[in-house]
Structure 1
Amino acid sequence: MARTTVEQLADFAADVSLEAPPPDVVEDSKRVLLDSVGCALAGIDVDKGRIGIKVARRMGGRGDATIFGVADRTTPFAAAFANAESINALDFDAVLPPGHVAPYVLPGALALAEERGASGARVLEAIAVSHEMSYRFSRAMDYTRTVTGTEIQVATVLGFTSAVFGAAAAAGLILGQDREVLADAIGIAGAITPVNSYRTWMMNVPNSTIKYSMAGPVAQAGMTAAFSAEDGHTGDRTILDDAEYGYRRFIGSERWEPGALTEGLGVDWLFPAHHSYKPYPHCRVTHGPFDALTEIVTANDLRPDEIDAIRCWGEAWVELPVWLSTTVDRPHQAQFSIRHGLAVSAHRIPPGKAWQLPETLRNPSVVGLMEKVSFAPHPDYVATLSADPSARPTRVEVDARGTTFSASRTHPKGTPSADPSIRLSTDELVEKFRANADGVLPAGRIDDLLDGILNLEKVENVSALLARTAPPRR
């Protein structure tokens, strides 16, 4: 009898070996781990990260898993919740279709790996499997926006909770599950997938601090699925093949192309070529404008008080409410408001935690410059995306000193590319990590984490390495 889609995904996870994937799969698995841990360290004092840690402490329990950036050791379930929330707290974490993946799939696997003393090679396998699986779900389902020849369509239901499948597989790999238990875990994950709430969040402002779909509950759902299978529950192995009543139907996706989940699976690794890394703690759709504006103000040494107007043409769906909002009282609002982001960029504040500090959010000069920003869709947006889905055509004009300065971009910095000026290199990710960890961890621990993560395949037991994501106990 033919294996179901769930079973084929389980076979893929069970058969993975660090020696089989191409080098870029191993490299990118290290890169996303490095970037995610750094983002978590930077995010612990932002609303979302701070609240995530408080909620995790309420869950309680002693254990051997670390909450990144604080001295707490707790259960894997509690640590996974806190770390998932802090990775995504600044919106500084990597982007992989369907949107964000790392905050949903990494925390559970890392917490279990620390508790169980897993090898670095096993952790890399779990990272690779979870990201490949999550990316393939984005190919099978509705994506955030679809180009239809002459316009951009935004799906009715949006979110990233399909990453729960990857989260369950990653947790199962760390637990050492065989293909049959993994199949049950993946089937259970489908049945307990949290809802996708992104669309209502982006349409209604002022919006909630939890953002699109909370990462913590999804990370825990993946762990729940893995442990439930381990302890004897069975999963619905037809849940991805049942077009009438299965996952496609109850998750609300209008598009369902299940062949994308399994075609070339285990042979063709797709996620590294589609993984973007963020140089700014802001929604990815605004990065092209930030690149262009930074070029203008830096090259011409413009001061904010010299600027009379900033005109921006960019990604068309920035016209939706969450991006056009001028209410910026809390970090999650700053992470999406294009006016606030451009105003902060014009002040040349180094991208990172400082962008979302209270003094930046309420800086009178930043708030005043927001009123001078205008936005419109780039006239070539649809045509350019039709030719190259990774492109984000952008133009920025700045009126200052009685003249108009301009700059354009096709691809924002951090887009995967053979062009080193566009791709965010590993060296640049290291510098981003150092900046994010500064003030949270001592220099020695930062160095140890960098060395361990960049050489993770050589680490026999990750427990000591992951414990160094916390400051020394006093």
Structure 2
Amino acid sequence: MTTMIQKFADLATGTRIEDLPAEAIGETARILLDSIGVAVAGIGELKGRAGIAYGKLIGGSQGDATIMGTGDKVSAFGAAFANGELINTLDMDAIMPPGHVTPYVLPGIMALGETMARDGKAVALAIAVGHEISCRIGMGMDYLRDTRDGKVDPPPVFGYAETIFGAAAAISMLRGHSAEVTANGLGIAGSVSPVNAQTAWFQHAPSSTIKYLHAGVLTQSAFTAAYAAELGHRGDIQILDDEEFGYRRFIGTRRWFADRMVADLGREWRFVDLSAFKPYPHCRILHALIDEMQDLLDRHAIAVEEIEGIKVYVEGMVEQPVWLNREILLPHDAQFSIAHGIAVGAHRVPPGRAWMDPELVFGDSVMGLMDKVTHEVHPDYVKLLTGNAASRPAKLEIRARGRTYAGERRYPKGTKSPDPASHMTNDELIAKFLNNVDGILPRGNAEAIVELVMDLPRLDDLGRVMRLTAPDAQGPAPRN
């Protein structure tokens, strides 16, 4: 009998770039470009600074892997640690089930892709397989937006630890491991998996700046698993199949749809339709609300000073301390607070690292408006969510000038939903990238990164891209 681990190993070693649909290849380029932008934008924040410092500490000074936005060269292990933390610093990174995947899967690909001079086809393939495995396993486990009998039913244990399987698989692919070695690496990955501590993080506010899962730690665990297998260690290839004692039991998930995890593996690429991009550096729960609020404010030319109150109707799973928090001690806290996020969004500051500016975050105008924000659970949340999984039901009422202005939206920008307006086009994604790196990277370098990444299959060496993420890097020669 072929185990689930072996099936995922076969996907990693048996898939060729020609096997990927064009949409999957295109999505890998979009994920890569977006991740570079949000990582560079995060270099000045606490989480980003700490990730850089520790990445340099463990990565030494003799390496040839780039920490994005700094130009620092360290080992692949140090760069992956730092870049994982940077990608997730602003909470503006790409998402897909089970939630955040990219900060855990992509950093190892970036580091090895640069140090081993892998071309764009190898990189695209590793991104696709790594995200697909992580997404499939995550979809077969408890989900944060689970419902039961028409009511919200969030799991008691939740997190993104299962992304270690996709992260380890991608590393094995770039290292050229055989199916047997890859399977051993995935088995080891399951055994060294971080715990799923995210539910505890929800319950304690102000929240830990580690967030729901420390990206740097998971990247190191994935490297450990893949390299241990390469060095001869044997992994537990039954760890996903054994529901009594295996990964399902000790990771704490109530449900386990093993058949769905491997169904049509290699023929159906689920991550393509499930990936979404975030316009705002804030938890996704507010994005549709901010979209609709800003449209209302613009449509009626309402100034912040005129707002008497804002009532928002939110997703049913957010009645937990991390989102209810109004004690904003660090810019990090602003990324999850419902009241503060709405207040910042009402100020129409272009989204990006400017949202983390302490003068904005702690400014009298934002803090004063935060006190005027109230919320309730959206009355049709479960109905709309079960009707279409892309739903993030949002409804709000703005009181100003003695009137109430109401609006409602179902799908946030950046989502592949039945509403074409919610899709983020390549041009919109590129504009987000250019805004995020503006003032940090030379414009010529930023444009060169866009050109190289968006034509990923033709890229001869990922190192060309990574080296351009240094603020003082030599840009490309001018064109005639």
TM-score in same-fold range (> 0.5):
yes
Question: 2: CA distance between counterparts of 1:310 and 1:183?
Answer: 53
Asked if 1:263 is matched to 2:263, the reply is yes
Residue aligning to 1:221:
221
Does residue 68 of structure 1 match 2:75? no
Match of 1:34 in 2: 33
Q: Does 1:101 align with 2:106?
A: no
Match of 1:406 in 2: 406
Instruction: Give the distance between the partners of 2:449 and 2:67, measured in 1 at CA.
Output: 15
Distance in 1 (CA, whole Å) between partners of 2:68 and 2:418 is 33
Aligned residue in 1 for 2:451: 451
Q: Which segments of 5 or more consecutive residues in structure 1 lack a partner in the other structure?
A: none
Shift of 1:26: 0.7
- The one-character-per-residue Cα deviations of 1:47-90 (angstroms, maximum 9, x if unpaired) are 11111001112214221100000020000000000000010000
Note the 1:275-286 alignment, pairs <5 A. Answer: 275-286=275-286
> 1:15 maps to which residue?
14
| Mapped contact 1:90–1:331 kept (Cα < 8 A) | no
Aligned residue-pair number = 473
* Mapped contact 2:467–2:473 kept (Cα < 8 A): no
Q: Distance in 2 between matches of 1:111 and 1:69?
A: 14
Show the counterpart of 1:292: 292
Aligned partners of 2:386, 2:428: CA distance in 1, in Å? 30
- In 1, Cα distance between equivalents of 2:189 and 2:175: 16
Q: Cα offset for 1:147?
A: 1.4
Letter paired with 1:342? I
User: Contact 1:281 / 1:352 at 8 angstroms: preserved in 2?
Assistant: yes
TM-score normalised by length of structure 2: 0.97
Whole-angstrom CA distance in 2 between matches of 1:176 and 1:405: 58
Aligned equivalents of 1:428, 1:56: Cα separation in 2: 31
Corresponding residue number in structure 2 for 1:142 = 142
| Superposed displacement of residue 419, structure 1 | 3.8
Following superposition, the deviation at residue 143 of structure 1 comes to 1.0
Q: Displacement of 1:19 after TM fit?
A: 1.2
User: Offset of 1:418 from its aligned partner?
Assistant: 5.5
**Deviation readout 1:299-325 (Å, 9 max, x if unpaired):** 122111100010111211222111111
Q: Offset of 1:406 from its aligned partner? A: 1.4
Show CA shifts across 1:375-402 (max 9, x none). 0011111111121121122111111112
Partners of 1:211 and 1:332 within 8 A in 2: no
Conserved 8 A contact 2:411-2:417? no
| Structure 2 CA distance for aligned equivalents of residues 194 and 254 of structure 1 | 18
| CA drift at 1:473 | 5.6
Q: After superposition, give the CA deviation of every residue in 1:65-119 in whole Å (9 maximum; x if it has no partner).
A: 0000002000000000000001000000011111100000000111011001111
Report SS of the residue matched to 1:407.
Answer: strand
Which residue does 2:477 correspond to in 1?
Answer: none
1:327 equivalent to 2:312? Answer: no
Contact 1:294/1:346, CA 8 A, preserved across alignment: yes
SS at match of 1:224: helix
- 1:145 CA displacement: 2.3
1:27-426 correspondence to structure 2 within 5 Å: 27-61=26-60, 62-417=62-417, 419-426=419-426
Counterpart residue number, 1:436: 436
TM-score norm. by structure 1 comes to 0.98
Q: Deviations over 1:188-229 (max 9, x none)?
A: 111100111110011111121111110111111111111111
Amino acid at match of 1:234: R
Q: Deviations over 1:121-173 (max 9, x none)?
A: 00000000011101101121111121113211111111111000000000011
User: What is the aligned-residue identity percentage?
Assistant: 44
Q: CA deviation at 1:254?
A: 1.1
> Offset of 1:331 from its aligned partner?
2.2
Structure 1 residue identity aligned to 2:78: A
Cα distance in 2, alignment partners of residues 373 and 417 from structure 1: 28
